[in-house]
Amino acid sequence: MSDALEILAGLVLARCGDALERVPSRCGELTFEVPAAALVATCRTLRDDPGLRFEQLVDLAGVDYLDYGRVEWNTDTATSSGFSRGRSGGGTAGEGAAQRFAVVYHLLSVTHNRRLRLRAWCEGSEPPLLDSVVEIWKSADWFEREAFDLFGILFRGHPDLRRILTDYGFVGHPFRKDFPLIGNVEVRYDESKGRVVYEPVAIEPRTLVPRVIREDNRYEAALKDAQRKDAGHV
């Protein structure tokens, strides 16, 4: 972390009191965790305090921590069995997350040219619930609708909480880790009925293993030159 971020961290903690807990970040961004009960008050302070002035909510994203901490996920590149197996059962190797659903807020101070992230754990397990921040940042309107649509997270006080990306009759929340990658139904237009029909999905589940490009020392220049000498080409 840079000195500027450390100064900002001290300022945020001084203004918001004991409500915030600093979270380690691997991407060089300042991140804090805020309790659900203190979310709205903390966000209002971050927006209105002259020394902070986080006027803009750049993004809001839901997170599903189901199966968090499993050994097969401890990788920054790829795995041997593919990523679709994350919804399957199996033994856990890590402690995992204490709760399942969280919401992450990406904030920008135009006045001070600073960025900040907040993470709030949702209340309850099903349905997950948090207070809406639409009254603080108007841009939260569609962001919260997206998190509701894809993760099933409810936002208390939202003026118009309904699906925004999936169909109105869609069942389930497709970004949840236990939602099948192939979905539950497929949609097609039936000419005989003259309308769109929903049918059980006909695709068979499969494991998708990503292609990984690995370094191959057989193509190193020095090794190739040695092979050419051995073959009498030089």
H or E segment to which residue 4 belongs: helix 3-16
H or E segment to which residue 45 belongs: helix 39-48
C-alpha distances in Å from residue 222, one per residue of 225, 228, 230, 233, 234: 5, 10, 13, 15, 13
Of the listed ranges 130-139, 163-172, 185-194, 203-212, the least confidently predicted one is 203-212
Closest CA relative to residue 72, chosen from 61, 58, 87: 87
pTM reported for the whole predicted model: 0.73
pLDDT at 84: 44
Residue pLDDT, tens place only, 68-105: 766 454 445 555 555 444 444 443 434 566 788 999 99
pLDDT at 118: 94
The residue with greater pLDDT, 191 or 216, is 191
Residue pLDDT, tens place only, 126-175: 899 999 999 999 999 999 999 999 999 999 999 999 999 988 778 888 89
The residue with greater pLDDT, 65 or 76, is 65
Q: Which amino acid is at 220?
A: E
Half-sphere exposure of 24 (CA within 13 A, CB side): 1
H or E segment to which residue 103 belongs: strand 101-109
Task: State which CATH number among 3.40.30.10, 3.30.460.80, 3.40.980.10, 3.40.1160.10 fits the domain covering 3-65+100-165.
Answer: 3.30.460.80
Residue with tokens 């970004």: 175
